[in-house]
């Protein structure tokens, strides 16, 4: 009797093809930098208000903390943001969509079109200023398996959304016909 569920080994896996991963828009680095700067400003403002309210007693401790925050901020602005953008790529194929991110910690999220619940294009005020949007593909697996592609030109995000919606509807109609 033939085995209905054959075992897959490393040797029987299909070869890994060099897929045409697409980078996100480099302007997204500006979005990340502005967001980091806003957080730094809020933290520094809170520290300054704390020193002002508590007097000069807390100045040395707060000074060291704010210095550390400024160093972390400089790292995020000039090292993390450009590398985050450079290492964020997406891949859209006929039956699935993928996003991979990470410079130090790599993460690849994939979703088959048959798992897509709905899609959404979001755009905050800073992204709008740069003409960018984020495509969110909500899947049946929940939040951890959702595919979020930031830093897309707005027209590209809407075209990808429409394409995915058409693919999902076509697959549902094919399933209903069977």
Is 48 among the domain residues? yes
For the cut 60, the answer to whether the pLDDT of residue 1 exceeds it is no
For the cut 80, the answer to whether the pLDDT of residue 95 exceeds it is yes
81 shares its domain with 93: no
Q: What pLDDT shows up at residue 31?
A: 97
54 shares its domain with 95: no
First-to-last alpha carbon distance for the chain, in angstroms, is 29
- With b for 16 or more beta-carbon neighbours within 10 A and e for fewer, the 95-105 pattern comes to ebbbbebeeee
94 C-beta neighbours (distance < 10 Å), count: 7
74 shares its domain with 108: no
Measuring CA to CA, which residue among 169, 148, 45, 160 is closest to residue 88? 148
Q: What pLDDT shows up at residue 3?
A: 66
66 shares its domain with 105: no
76 shares its domain with 139: no
CATH number, position 120: 2.30.29.30
178 C-beta neighbours (distance < 10 Å), count: 4
60 shares its domain with 41: yes
94 shares its domain with 169: yes
- With b for 16 or more beta-carbon neighbours within 10 A and e for fewer, the 14-52 pattern comes to eeeeeeeeeebbeebbbbbbbebeeebeebeeebeeebe
Q: What is the pLDDT of residues 131-150, one digit of tens each?
A: 999 999 999 877 778 999 99
122 half-sphere exposure, CB direction, 13 A CA radius: 11
State which residues form the domain around 108. 89-177
Is 20 among the domain residues? no
Is 5 among the domain residues? no
| The last residue of a domain, from among 85, 112, 131 | 85
80 shares its domain with 114: no
The number of folded domains in the chain is 2
| The last residue of a domain, from among 54, 85, 116 | 85
81 shares its domain with 103: no
Tell me the average pLDDT of the chain. Answer: 88
Q: What is the pLDDT of residues 108-118, one digit of tens each?
A: 999 988 888 99
Q: What pLDDT shows up at residue 149?
A: 97
Weakest-pLDDT range from 48-62, 64-78, 103-117, 119-133: 48-62
78 — phi, psi (to 5°)?
-105, -15
168 shares its domain with 152: yes
The rounded percent of the chain whose pLDDT value lies above 90 is 54
For the cut 70, the answer to whether the pLDDT of residue 77 exceeds it is yes
Q: What is the pLDDT of residues 23-39, one digit of tens each?
A: 999 999 999 999 999 99
CA dist 153 and 169 (Å) reads 24
């Amino acid at each position: 009797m033939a085995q209905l569920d054959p075992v897959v080994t490393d040797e029987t896996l299909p070869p890994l093809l060099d897929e045409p991963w697409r980078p996100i828009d480099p302007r997204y680095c500006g979005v990340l930098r502005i967001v980091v700067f806003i957080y730094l400003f809020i933290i520094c403002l809170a520290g300054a208000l704390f020193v002002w309210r508590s007097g000069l007693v807390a100045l040395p401790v707060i000074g060291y903390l704010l210095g550390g925050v400024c160093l972390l901020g400089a790292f995020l602005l000039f090292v993390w943001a450009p590398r985050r953008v450079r290492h964020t790529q997406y891949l859209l194929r006929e039956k699935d969509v993928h996003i991979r991110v990470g410079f130090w910690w790599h993460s690849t999220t994939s979703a088959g079109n048959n798992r897509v619940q709905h899609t959404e294009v979001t755009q905050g005020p800073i992204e709008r200023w740069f003409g960018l949007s984020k495509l969110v593909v909500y899947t049946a697996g929940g939040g951890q398996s959702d595919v979020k592609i930031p830093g897309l030109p707005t027209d590209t995000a809407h075209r990808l959304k429409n394409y995915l919606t058409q693919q999902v509807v076509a697959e549902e109609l094919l399933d209903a016909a069977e």
